[in-house]
Structure 1
Amino acid sequence: MKRILLLSLPVAMMVACSNPSNSTKPETNAPASTAAATPAVPAASIDAAQLGANHWLLDNAVDASGKRIDGLFVRADKPVTLDFKDGRVGASNTCNRIGGGYTLDGDALTVGALMSTSMACAEPGVMELDRLVSQRLEGKLTVRTLDASTLTLATASGDVLTFRAEPTAETRYGGPGEQVFMEVDAQTKPCPHPLMKDATCLQVREVKYDDKGLEQGKRGAYENFYGNIEGYNHEPGVRNVLRLKRFQIKNPPADAPSQAYVLDMVVASELVK
């Protein structure tokens, strides 16, 4: 029995940046009166390239009275994350992917009308998380801090959101990477490995599409995949087509792979029983 679920996201939901930053970090968990006294980032220092060089993971969020906004932290192990790319900002680790265009002007980061996918989530509080994030992300935000480790945004209502930086794969590997598509079979299989007894491997094969998204050629046989796909958690019994970024690793250690694969998105999933 097979059930097919397509999870396509528009290219518009892919997200990074463009403009210049440095500043002093405020105490974001202090009452609003204290946070309000913190000077905003000077206009000339807002660096769009720095925005795009990192994933920004929500670390703290307080309202105008200094109270923590608990509804933004219902996924303790998956913090809300912002990504900036090509003049667009996207939020992930919510129920749905959320994104829209943004502009920089002085100390202001203004986010336009947001769009999102339309999945339902049964996890408590996660559906509401979409609304809470969109409510605070859309509109004019003041950049209070932007440096190599911290991004602090203030909303018009006085909420203060503090994010910690996590370098993107492009930053870590020193380049944009190559886009490839790979089908991962539903089950892993034993595979010989000189350093690991009883090793099992993902079974993969490449899938090729033209620039219109139409599949080209015939898929080959599955092969052992020695290594990991960063960001991908394999679920036995589910066959996936993945869009990946493939990076060349400079000067890898002996016996280590010379390429790294990072999950970009799950294009399609099929439950196989």
Structure 2
Amino acid sequence: MNGASREALAAARERLDALTDSRSVDAAKLAEELAAVTALLHREVSLRRVLTDPAQSGEAKADLARRLLSGQVSDATADLVSGMVRSRWSQPRDLVDSVEELSSLAELTAAQRSGALDDVEDELFRFGRIVESSTELRAALTDRSATAAAKTALLRSLLGGRANPATERLVVRLVTQPRGRSLEAGLETLSRLAAARRDRMVAVVTSAVALTDGQKRRLGAALAKLYGRPMHLNLDVDPEVLGGISVRVGDEVINGTVAARLEEAERRLAG
């Protein structure tokens, strides 16, 4: 996002935090309603253009949003969206992306309130690994000819009773409303937002065998010291790495696996 949209999103996040600080606001319901607004704005191209038109006054756009949403969503959701369209956006899509992000943040806030945020983080990561390892499942979830109802039924058969309800809702929304993103990118974004709820970074750790609790604590402490922020470890076991570990934090990879060292040795010999 460009500067104007970044500022508008930052202001919207602050308003969301202020709303969800109150226990009287149902964060899960807020998430559901914001997801519905996201779908509306994604579907109605002309509407999102009007609501981000810099030639229109912020108050006029807020009034339009309020009239459209009145009776369809709660006052809290209508007020939040009205406040967003008062802001200046660099392009119409940024408004849709931001409403969707607030929906995910509200869902994660609900999980955090119930003490389930860590579980949701881990479940999102594990689900991503399941999708990555099953071409048939990925094909079924990304099939454009399949209906949203069919995909939802498939996900509920996979996750229902096995994952936190917040995880299930987040994944269902992502799969049924992909909005041009890959499934992997969407899951990674959700993991990043979940980590941000605790102001911490995510490290994807791949090792040949499962790490012990002591190894996990030492690695987490070392990474937190290196990056200057608390670190959440998403752990993956892959026998093909042979030994050692690989750590990915964002776009940065720290590769200490035997397989990587062998590949480097082969490159040097070939050179």
The TM-score, its normalising length taken from structure 1, stands at 0.23
The TM-score, its normalising length taken from structure 2, stands at 0.23
Looking at secondary structure, tell me which structure has more helix per residue: 2
**Structure showing greater relative contact order (alpha-carbon pairs closer than 8 Å, 6 or more residues apart):** 1
